[in-house]
Amino acid sequence: MPAKVGGFMTMFGYARGSTGDQTVAQVAELRAAGCAEVYCEKAGAAKRDYSERTKALRRLEPGDVLVVTRLSRLARSTFDLFEILHTLAETNIGFKSIGDAWADTTTSNGRVMLTVLGGLTEFERELNKARIVRVKARGGRLGRRRKLKYHQRKRALARLAVGETHVDVARTYNVDPSTIGRLGLTEFEGERIKARIAGAEARVLLGRRRKLKYLQRKRALARLAAAEAHPDQAAQIHEGSAVQG
């Protein structure tokens, strides 16, 4: 149990809320609990750098107690929470949550409860690591499932290459235009550049039917090659066809 010389413990509060009213209410509750100093922070779910929390943790000394109104005010994830609690325990600093009576390391029961939960959290962490290893071994992809399949992403890039807007393409697949905009950052960047350079490639990806079949294109290329090799004969043939016409 944390205790300073003389049996006097200094309690420091930490308040965090997304609005000013939430922070004020937490500060009042922490003051009523006997906190000598309260560190306030206005931060939403998207913020990951909690500067005031860092200041509070640095301010604490062995024998002090960190107090919050709820466990969710101290950390956004279970892993982050128990990492902080582990650091506090190693430096002989107590922790107390007003709204969670069992989360109180100044009592023996609270320390036992948090130790058990910390062990379960570490067990869950190891399971997650094992799952990630198995997925990578199978060649799987981590993260959220893609909204568009492979052929849809490929076709969407081709449509962008021929001048269609992100909004029009997104409407086809019922996704946000930002989803289409991020396709250029995927593995299809090379294909997108090629499609822009060669409009014919883009038309093929879109599925438009060629006007000439394979053999017809091959014969036409052969005739062009022959005309370049023998320009005089090609001129005579052209003149003869014009006279017949």
The residues, ordered by sequence, that sit 6+ positions from 211 with a Cβ below 8 Å of its Cβ are none
* Cα–Cα nearest to 167, from 181, 175, 177, 158: 177
The pLDDT of residue 67 is above 90:
yes
Residue 41 and residue 228: Cα distance in Å, rounded?
77
21 and 115, same domain (yes or no): yes
At 48, the pLDDT band (50, 70, 90 cuts) reads low
Residue 43 and residue 17: Cα distance in Å, rounded?
6
CB of 38 within 8 A of CB of 68?
A: no
The pLDDT of residue 85 is above 60:
yes
pLDDT tens across 95-129, in order?
Answer: 999 988 888 888 888 888 888 877 777 777 777 77
Residue 84 and residue 60: Cα distance in Å, rounded?
13
Do the domain assignments include residue 19?
A: yes
Do the domain assignments include residue 27?
A: yes
Across 4-13, 23-32, 204-213, 218-227, the highest mean pLDDT is recorded for 23-32
Do the domain assignments include residue 118?
A: yes
Do the domain assignments include residue 244?
A: no
* Cα–Cα nearest to 81, from 11, 10, 14: 14
Lowest average pLDDT, out of 56-70, 74-88, 125-139, 182-196, goes to 182-196
168 and 85, same domain (yes or no): no
At 69, the pLDDT band (50, 70, 90 cuts) reads very high
Q: What is the DSSP letter of 106?
A: T
CA-CA distances (angstroms) from residue 212 to 199, 206, 223, 226? 16, 17, 15, 19
Please give the sequence-ordered ranges of beta strands (E in DSSP) within the chain, or none if there are none: 11-17, 37-42, 65-68, 94-97
How much of the chain, in percent, has pLDDT values that exceed 90? 11
Tokens encoding 184: 């250029």
**Average confidence (pLDDT) over 192-200:** 54
CB of 27 within 8 A of CB of 82?
A: no
At 12, the pLDDT band (50, 70, 90 cuts) reads very high
- Enzyme catalytic residues: 18
pLDDT score recorded for residue 242: 46
236 against 38, higher pLDDT: 38
88 and 160, same domain (yes or no): no
Q: How many domains does the chain have?
A: 2
Residue 136 and residue 142: Cα distance in Å, rounded?
8
CB of 94 within 8 A of CB of 88?
A: yes
User: 158 is in which domain, residue-wise?
Assistant: 154-228
69 and 34, same domain (yes or no): yes
97 against 77, higher pLDDT: 97
Q: What is the DSSP letter of 62?
A: T
211 and 165, same domain (yes or no): yes
15 and 98, same domain (yes or no): yes
At 68, the pLDDT band (50, 70, 90 cuts) reads very high
19 and 129, same domain (yes or no): yes
Do the domain assignments include residue 64?
A: yes
Distance of alpha carbon 143 from its chain centroid, rounded?
8
The pLDDT of residue 10 is above 90:
no
CB of 93 within 8 A of CB of 99?
A: no
Distance of alpha carbon 116 from its chain centroid, rounded?
31
* Reported pTM: 0.50
> Which CATH number covers residue 85?
3.40.50.1390
At 5, the pLDDT band (50, 70, 90 cuts) reads very low
Do the domain assignments include residue 234?
A: no
120 and 18, same domain (yes or no): yes
3-state secondary structure of 165: coil
188 and 112, same domain (yes or no): no
